[in-house]
Amino acid sequence: MKWITEYFIKNALKEVSPVKKKQLSADQIKSIGIIAPSLVELDETSAAIVPILGHQLKVTGLFYGEGSEAKQAFSHKDFSFSGKPKNIVAEFINNKVDLIIASEEKLNIFSLYLLYLNPQSYSVGFYDKSHTPYLDLMVAREDLDHKQNIENLLKYLKQVI
């Protein structure tokens, strides 16, 4: 039944259009959402945020983990057949974060859909041509470990906003 959900999500993603967002400043960031490929990368990304962007932030995050028992894991089962979010995904979207960090270089369709469902949030991540409609700021991933790449992304974000 996963393919039914994927079908509806792919159709929704075809209709993506740019959303005019107001300029974001570092002082305006009060909450951050993270979309990661694994629990390890989710934890590393969370740990990198505080030293660069500050301590007074509310940080939430999800990772795509088919079959994972972790409370931060989501999968296709967290969407209805027609692609409507439910469970942990609906909660993530209802949080209305100021900034979303996509810590994966190649986002799967369900992770892209989370960005699509949060058009008002400023979103940053790593460069991939397919991410262009969903991310407001992208940088190229370097040959460094994940935490260093995230730190570089956040430092660059802080310079440009």
CB 124 within 8 A of CB 137: yes
- In the predicted model, what is the mean pLDDT of residues 115-143? 88
Whether pTM exceeds 0.85: yes
Give the DSSP letter of residue 9: H
Note whether residue 22 is domain-resident.
Answer: no
Note whether residue 99 is domain-resident.
Answer: yes
Tell me the CATH number at 147.
3.40.50.2300
What is the per-residue burial (b if ≥16 Cβ within 10 Å, else e) of 13-46? Answer: beeeeeeeeeebeeeebeebbbbbbbbebbbbbb
Note whether residue 19 is domain-resident.
Answer: no
Note whether residue 130 is domain-resident.
Answer: yes
- The tally of domains found in the chain comes to 1
Note whether residue 125 is domain-resident.
Answer: yes
155, 161, 124: which is closest to 34 by C-alpha?
124
Residue-level pLDDT at 59: 92
pLDDT by residue (tens digit) across 20-63?
Answer: 666 777 778 889 999 999 999 999 999 988 888 877 889 999 99
Note whether residue 21 is domain-resident.
Answer: no
CB 46 within 8 A of CB 60: no
Residue-level pLDDT at 22: 66
Note whether residue 132 is domain-resident.
Answer: yes
Residue-level pLDDT at 142: 87
pLDDT by residue (tens digit) across 50-104?
Answer: 888 877 889 999 999 988 889 999 999 999 988 899 999 999 999 889 999 998 8
Residue-level pLDDT at 100: 93
Q: Which domain holds residue 145?
A: 2-11+29-160
Residue-level pLDDT at 134: 86
Note whether residue 20 is domain-resident.
Answer: no
